[in-house]
Structure formats: C-alpha cells, structure tokens
Amino acid sequence: MTRIFLDEGVPKPLARSLRAYGLNAVPFPNDWKQLSNGSLLARIESEGFDVILTCDKQMPFQQNLAGRQLAIVILPTTKLLELVESVGPLASVLGQARPSLAYRFRVAPAELLQIN
C-alpha cells in the first residue's frame, strides 16, 4: 500500500479523508518543523513513505529528486474544503506517482501532471 505523507502546509484533516479511501496517509508531525526540505525528504524516505503531498510549488525545483525513493505531488490549494471535495479524484490517481518524480494534481479530469 502506498504510504502518503502530508507536508506542513497541507491541512491535517486531509489525512483522515484519504484514510477513508483506504490510503495510508499521515499528517505532518509538529516535532519535524525544524527540518529543512532536503532533511525532510530524507526523513520521509527513511520512514518508508512513497509520496509527499505538498502545497509548496517550489519544492521540486529546490530539491534534486534523482535517486529519491519517493514522489512529490503538489496540491492546487491549501483550502481544506476544496481538498476534501477533491479527495476521491486524488485518491484515484496517487498510485500512479513514481519515485524520483514530481507532479501537479489536477482535479478535472483527475490526473497527475509530471513536472520534471
């Protein structure tokens, strides 16, 4: 099963909504706030996550993803209501994310658009 990590800017309740679709989603732990993006990605990988959901549109351009064992998926908004309304389409495409790649999530039609 794909393990999904929610970055700090992603509303924590989204994890519960994704779990309702049978996905293993974990919100950002408060004690990780001091980690830089590079250290965060390394920590997420060491914890066995496959995908990080983020609203940080710059993350894929600031980090070298070559050789990484996880994918970055950029969400279109930080607004919880909009994210919860699109959780079904999001859940349906997260399994398509491949390691070392970054994607933008598009709601309609539901798809991951590769950006690197």
Model pLDDT, residue 106: 94
Is residue 6 within 8 A of residue 87, CB to CB? The reply is: no
Model pLDDT, residue 63: 86
CB atoms within 10 A of CB 6: 23
Closest to 6 in 3D by CA, of 112, 94, 67: 94
| pLDDT tens digits, 51-108 | 999 999 999 898 888 999 999 999 999 999 999 999 999 999 999 999 999 999 999 8
Domains contained in the chain, number:
1
SS3 annotation, the chain: CCEEEECCCCCCHHHHHHHCCCCEEECCCHHHCCCCHHHHHHHHHHCCCCEEEECCCCHHHHCCCCCCCCEEEECCCCCHHHHHHCHHHHHHHHHHCCCCCEEEEECCCCEEEECC
Residues 6+ apart with CB under 8 A from 20: 87
Give the domain CATH number at 93: 3.40.50
Model pLDDT, residue 98: 95
* Number of residues in the chain: 116
| pLDDT tens digits, 6-33 | 999 999 999 999 999 999 999 999 999 9
Instruction: Residue 49: give the domain boundaries.
Output: 3-114
